[in-house]
Amino acid sequence: MNYALAFVGFCALIVLHELGHFTAAKLVGMRVEKFSLFFGKPLAKVQKGETEYAVGWIPAGGYVRITGMNPNEEIPEEIASRAYYRMPVWKRIVVIAAGPLVNVVIAFLILWALLLANGTVTNTPVVSSQDLGQPAAQYLQPNDRVISVDGVRGDPAAIARQVATHRCAGAQVNGCSAATPASVVVERDGRLLTFAITPRYDGRRGIDRARLGFSYEYGQRDVPAGEAASLSLTGMWDVTTATVRTFAKLFQAREREQLSGVVGTGETLKQGFDFSTERALGILALISLSLAIINLFPFLPLDGGHIFWAIVEKLRGGRAVPFSVMEKAGAVGFVLVIMLFFIGLTNDIGRISDGTLGDIPR
């Protein structure tokens, strides 16, 4: 089921990306010949007006075919004015940039909504809802903030050391109760509460000390809409700079290992659904942002390549760049895209072999 959800998530990103191109092209008056989800021979297609809508059999993307994407294409005079290369530079840039822009907006909206719904993590450790056992469970509640134990304040390590000073009356046997209770002060809903809790000795290997029977997690706090938007944009910028740095250092083996292909990314998204819907949506937002970033690289056949050559034409005073030049540049760009695909696929195969497929590289 979660594999299906991951697949649907990918499809949604592709459809919305291509819908951005499609909508912008229609709005500026270009003639759209075909709107296709996936590549290859159509499994299904329907003609509506001047546009054919199709679904291909190779689930590796999608495309919008606009009349006149090749400047040397022979076009009937009655539709020539609506061809891509007959349009002003700014209209071409708007149409090409619309796809990545949709992905950026999707990423922002998902992250913004998650922050509004769940808040953000604070730097303050609080009592976790996980592993809340005896004797603490009789007194403490999740999200309580431990202020002090026996008057001793500090970080969780300092609190644990103070609790460990309480010892059982006889031999320190697993589960024995300390001879004296610990005075525990916690903050709950803005109020300070004091409890006398008798620690129990935990004799498990690697622990061997008295404990109160709880663990820590970082707290959550609600954030207003404006702050949620700011945090979303900051996080997206951090991801963007990290992605660009990775590709800038692609010839370094460690950086190449960070790349994932479709298989690895799909498995990561599937595992996100295994964990929670919120986790999956967060991963989907990062995938959407990554699609936008990669698509804006200035190499044909990527969207960024079309934008780059449109800007070059503008800088040349409106003189069109010879199509032969763009074809040669496009061949280089195609090789780079295939290289990225091959690196990602190789990494995925390696992760399948060592059992780490779906793990997020760090």
Tokens standing for 218?
A: 């970082």
Residue appearing with tokens 């270009």 = 30
360 Cβ contact list (under 8 Å, min separation 6): 268
Residue 197 and residue 95 in contact, taking contact as beta carbons nearer than 8 Å? no
Q: Is the pLDDT of residue 356 over 50?
A: no
Which of 162, 136, 316, 276 is closest to 215 using CA atoms? Answer: 136
For residue 167, name the pLDDT band (cuts at 50, 70, 90): very high
Adjacency order of strands within the sheet including 44-48: 44-48, 51-55, 32-39, 58-66
CATH of 122-221, one of 3.40.1160.10, 3.30.70.100, 2.30.42.10, 2.40.10.10: 2.30.42.10
Would you state the torsion angle of the CA atoms of residues 127, 131, 136, 138, taken in this order, to the nearest 10 degrees? 110
Answer whether residue 310 shows pLDDT above 50.
yes
CB atoms < 10 A from the CB of 93, how many?
Answer: 18
pLDDT band at 29; cut points 50, 70, 90: very high
The per-residue pLDDT for range 321-348, each reduced to its tens digit, is 888 888 787 777 777 767 666 665 565 5
| 235: CB partners within 8 A, 6+ apart | 111
Q: What is the pLDDT, as a whole number, of residue 350?
A: 57
**How many whole angstroms separate alpha carbon 250 and alpha carbon 257?**
9
Q: Exposed (0-12), middle (13-18) or buried (19+): which is 215, by Cβ within 10 Å?
A: middle
199 falls in which pLDDT band (50, 70, 90)?
very high
Percentage of the chain beyond pLDDT 70 is 83
Neighbours of 48 (CB within 10 A): 8
Task: Judge whether residue 239 has pLDDT over 80.
Answer: yes
Mean pLDDT of all residues in 291-317: 88
Write the pLDDT tens digit of every residue in 251-271. 666 655 656 545 555 556 566
- Domain residue spans of the chain: 2-31+67-119+224-354, 122-221
Calpha distance 6→265 (Å, rounded): 9
> Which residue in the block uniquely carries the two structure tokens 């700079």?
241
Cβ atoms within 10 Å of 56's Cβ, excluding its own: 19
CA–CA dist 221, 126 (Å, integer): 12
The confidence score (pLDDT) of residue 274 equals: 66
The mean per-residue pLDDT over the stretch 2-29 comes to 86
Cα gap 239→319, rounded to integer Å: 37
* Average pLDDT value over all residues in the chain: 83
**How much is the pLDDT for 280?**
83
Q: Give the start-end residues of each E strand in the chain.
A: 32-39, 44-48, 51-55, 58-66, 120-127, 145-149, 182-188, 191-197, 200-202, 209-211, 216-221
DSSP-assigned states of every residue in 278-301: HHHHHHHHHHHHHHHHHHTSS-TT
Question: What pLDDT digit, counting tens, does each position of 92-125 carry?
Answer: 999 999 999 999 999 999 999 999 988 887 778 8
pTM above 0.75, yes or no: no
Confidence tier at 250 by pLDDT (50, 70, 90): low
CA distance linking residue 27 with residue 322, whole number of Å: 27
For the cut 80, the answer to whether the pLDDT of residue 358 exceeds it is no
Segment (H or E) for 237: helix 225-248
Distance of CA 233 to the CA centre of its chain: 13
pLDDT confidence of residue 34: 93
pLDDT bin (cut points 50, 70, 90) of residue 214 is: very high
